[in-house]
Amino acid sequence: MIDTASIFTFVAAIIVTGFLGELLFKKTGVPMLVFLILMGIMIGPVLKFLPRTSLLPSLGVFAELTLLMVLFYGGIDTGLESVIKGGGRAFLQVLVYVLGSTAAIAFTVNAFLGWNLISSFIFASMVGGETAAAVVIPLSRSLKLPEATVAFLALESAVNSILSIVLFFAFVGIYRTGVTNLASTLTTISANFSVGIVLGGILSIAWVFILNKFQQRKYTYVLTLGLVFITYVISYKLGGSGELSVLIFGIVLGNYALISRVTNWHLSMDFLQQRLGLFQEEITFLMETLFFVFLGLTFEINPSSVVEFLAVGAIVVAVLMLFRVLATTASTVGSPLAQNRRDIIMMCAQGLVPATLAIIAVNDGLPHANSFLNAVTYVIILTNMIAAIGAVWRIRNQKSSFKEFMEGLDTAYKAK
């Protein structure tokens, strides 16, 4: 039994490591999450300070909470006007990259590892095309890429994370309902998603009016989080997708100005959005820091399978890079974005979404879930290393100094 002082010491060490990891990212260009995962592996599987079995029950709840925050803030950051006006190329990028790589990875692991097709697609949806905004956006700004390219990468990151989550729950739904009657299964999943979207829309409008009225009061941010949880629970209890409802809430709240113009509702929530943005960074930092260390803690080191999972991770990354080349080529044809095609390809770092989905799979007891977790960890580390290498590659080709790159990365972080 671990005493309270040891737990507080452990949490404090994680938070300090996360802060130092941010500083190292700005000094080296290597993403923070790599250091955090390695720290978790050292504390858990190597030194056995915290046993894996004692973490998993509570980690499942934490993973679900993290996922809701990712969806909510992803919805807030999805500007419908920018999507409608100039998001066509980013959507093409996401569709080719996520759908293509998900299908290819699923059939590859099905053939080589012998996992059944549904399990293969569940795994593929975790790693099939997400890009981590927390890594990609600061890196792209530090490289002084054109603003249009940075905006393209930011929109891609927001949309591909959402699509990956939707695909994951769709395949998990197929697994749970069975595939003996595919038409019935698809009908059940469609009903689940439809209820989630409709309830999310109805509740979101009600919440926006409430927040608009009370935004000047104290603790509005806490109220907003409470409404996020209420949205999830109501949708879930009524047979809908709670995750989709939370996403819709985020989209409606983030695009209140557009909705206000279209409906003549005279909403004004700039003050609330500023407060949400202020707290969002702090909360996101804390959750990501804890989560990536926990991911390392739950990693299993088995000498007989280390090479196997490393090989799986390498094959998955190879497939991802192939489809990233295809997607980027297709989405930048006839566009100024083509000048930065190689940079867009290299910005493939994955992060919180695949890690969260892998933990949820373990907590739900899905087949091969422990294998998913190990393979996902390798994919996250490898894709982040590729992004860092891509940044160094561009610096050398531009004949820029590494000092200029670091100054740019520091500026990008201050601008976040």
**Cα–Cα distance between 84 and 328 in angstroms, integer?**
20
3-state secondary structure of 403: helix
H helices, E strands: number in the chain: 19, 0
pLDDT of residue 408 exceeding 70? no
Determine which of 90-99, 225-234, 405-414 has the lowest per-residue pLDDT on average.
405-414
Q: Which fold has domain 18-414?
A: Na+/H+ antiporter like fold (1.20.1530)
**Cα–Cα distance between 158 and 352 in angstroms, integer?**
12
Which of the two residues, 316 and 197, has the higher pLDDT score? 316
- Cβ-based neighbours of 62, under 8 Å, separated by 6 or more: 290, 291, 294, 359
Percent of the chain predicted with pLDDT > 90: 23
pLDDT at residue number 398: 65
Beta carbons of 173 and 192 less than 8 angstroms apart: yes
pLDDT at residue number 98: 94
Query: Where does the pLDDT of residue 110 fall: very low under 50, low under 70, confident under 90, or very high at 90 and above?
Result: very high
Listed residue (264, 22, 293, 277) closest to 134, CA to CA:
22
Query: Where does the pLDDT of residue 321 fall: very low under 50, low under 70, confident under 90, or very high at 90 and above?
Result: very high
Determine which of 49-53, 64-68, 326-330 has the lowest per-residue pLDDT on average.
49-53
Q: What is the mean pLDDT of the chain?
A: 81
Average pLDDT over residues 222-228: 86
**Cα–Cα distance between 220 and 225 in angstroms, integer?**
9
pLDDT at residue number 117: 92
- Terminal alpha carbon distance of the chain: 41
pLDDT at residue number 361: 92
**For 202, what's the count of Cα atoms within 13 Å in the CB-facing half-sphere?**
10
**Cα–Cα distance between 179 and 21 in angstroms, integer?**
44
3-state secondary structure of 40: helix
Tens digit of pLDDT for each residue in 266-317?
777 777 777 776 677 777 778 778 878 888 887 777 777 788 889 999 999 9
Amino acid letter for position 132: A
Q: Provide the b/e sequence for 142-171 (b: ≥16 CB within 10 Å).
A: bbebeeebbbbbbbbbbbbbbbbbbbbbbb
Q: Provide the b/e sequence for 70-84 (b: ≥16 CB within 10 Å).
A: bbbbbbbbbbeeebe
pLDDT at residue number 82: 62
Query: Where does the pLDDT of residue 84 fall: very low under 50, low under 70, confident under 90, or very high at 90 and above?
Result: low
pLDDT of residue 377 exceeding 70? yes
Q: Is the pTM of this model over 0.85?
A: no
Tens digit of pLDDT for each residue in 338-348?
999 999 999 99
